[in-house]
Amino acid sequence: MYDVPTLTDYSAAALEKAAAECIRACSGEAAEVRSEAELKAFRDRWMARKNGILTQINDLWLKGAPKDAKREAGIRVNELKSRIQELVEGAHVGHVAAESYAADHVDISLPGIRRPIGAEHPVIKTMHEMVGVFTRLGYSVAEGPVVETDYYNFESLNFPVNHPARDTQDTLFIAGQQGKPQRERLLLRTHTSPVQIRTMEKMRPPLRIVIPGPVHRNDPPDASHSPMFHQIEGLAVDTNITFGDLKGTLDHAMKEFFGSSVKTSFRPSFFPFTEPSAEMYVSCFICGGSGRRGADPCRPCKQTGWIEILGCGMVDPNVFEFVKDSGYDPRKVSGFAFGMGADRIALLKYGVDDIQLFFQGDVRFLGQFV
């Protein structure tokens, strides 16, 4: 059994001789490994951090070397460590291979081992399905950065300086931004709307885009909220676009996604970047708009027969002012925009009552949606 000797001679020849003896001992012990227990003991004896042989060599040969010999000793010890590690790993590979070939026989009639095939996450699947509805209407898919500036996330979308959404209680700001002008401060985007501005800066009208992606807000996680979720937004800009175009487009999209029997309803609302603004509801596709499921009340629509799906409206002329030089003169063009939460639609579509289940990574849960 090999024991690490204490060196008194640190000449190149002496170090090479000591290293060769160590390698020869390690190689011999590796050849004698026959079982899993012996393999573990072999690895621990040579590689253990506290009292393994490599640790002892470092303490006795390198730390104990005279000052003028430390450089040569360090080179030799490092080379020795690499060689010993190769021998230890080689014993492991050889051990596994020997066991594989030592099997008495192989039954080729047994079924093979197949890796389970993955599938789209239910939220991503829902997002792709909804995006597909709009791409078939001629919309292009646009994307943008998740880390945004205050200018693109708020200012250029007509948010006033004192708007509550710009407060740290609602928005996740990147640390260390206090010294920058407000419009240059970085944050995690709270909606995918900044991509609308970025796209209009690059492309002249007419424009039709749909924007899927993750967004972040300072919401504590619970059954209906998450600090990270997914949005799908759309923007259409051209001459003479009206609110009727908006209603017709969304009515068609909801019927294609939820079924042709679904009805839509628009109710007045307010958003800084659209005027007029509305919230769109669809008749409950679970209870058929009756508000009841047999003798029981319908929980998804809260017995109203309607489910809120998205916010929408005509693009505020003030927003076009920020991209006026790119061809979006508010006196000549008009447009509509809409935005919906893909996670909320997935909750409704699959009958899930806790949004946190989507983000916990439990394969047993996610496997239901394959």
pLDDT tens, residue by residue, 334-344: 999 999 999 99
Q: Is the pLDDT of residue 88 over 50?
A: yes
Residue 101's pLDDT is what?
46
Domain ranges within the chain, ordered by starting residue: 12-101, 122-369
CA distance between the termini of the chain:
57
Count CA atoms closer than 13 A to 46's CA, side-chain side. 26
Query: Pairing mode, if any, of strands 274-283 and 264-271?
Result: antiparallel
- Higher pLDDT: 362 or 137? It is 137
**Res 104: pLDDT:** 54
pLDDT surpasses 90 at 330: yes
Between residues 41 and 216, which one has the greater pLDDT?
216
The pLDDT of residue 20 is above 60: yes
Q: What is the pTM of this model?
A: 0.66
Per-residue pLDDT tens over the stretch 163-191: 777 776 688 999 988 889 988 999 999 99
pLDDT band at residue 105 using 50, 70 and 90 as cut-offs? low
**Residue 96's pLDDT band (cuts 50, 70, 90):** very low
User: Does position 296 have pLDDT exceeding 60, yes or no?
Assistant: yes
User: HEC string of 84-125?
Assistant: HHHHHHHHHHHHHHHHHHCCCCCCCCCCCCCCCCCCCCHHHH
Per CATH, the homologous superfamily of domain 122-369 is Bira Bifunctional Protein; Domain 2 (3.30.930.10)
- Average pLDDT rounded to a whole number, residues 16-39: 86
What number is the average pLDDT over the span 219-238?
91
Round to whole Å and give the CA distance between 187 and 155: 13
Asked if residues 281 and 307 have their Cβ atoms less than 8 Å apart, the reply is yes
| pLDDT > 80? residue 139 | yes
Rounded mean pLDDT, 232-259: 95
Q: Is the pLDDT of residue 118 over 90?
A: no
pLDDT tens per residue across span 302-328 = 888 898 999 999 999 999 999 999 999
Shortest CA distance to 61 belongs to which of 69, 20, 43? 69
What are the structure tokens assigned to 240, written together? 């003479």
User: What's the mean pLDDT in 14-32?
Assistant: 86
193-202 pLDDT, tens digit each: 999 999 999 9
Distances (CA, A) of 18 to 63, 80, 175, 196, 312: 16, 10, 55, 70, 79
Task: Find the helix packing angle between 122-135 and 243-258, rounded to 10°.
Answer: 130
> What is the chain's mean pLDDT, rounded?
88
| Residue 203 and residue 328 in contact, taking contact as beta carbons nearer than 8 Å | no
Residue 102 has pLDDT above 60, yes or no: no
pLDDT > 90? residue 142: yes
Determine the pLDDT at residue 45.
Answer: 85
What integer is the mean pLDDT of 76-89? Answer: 86
Asked whether 356 and 223 are in contact (CB, 8 A), the reply is yes
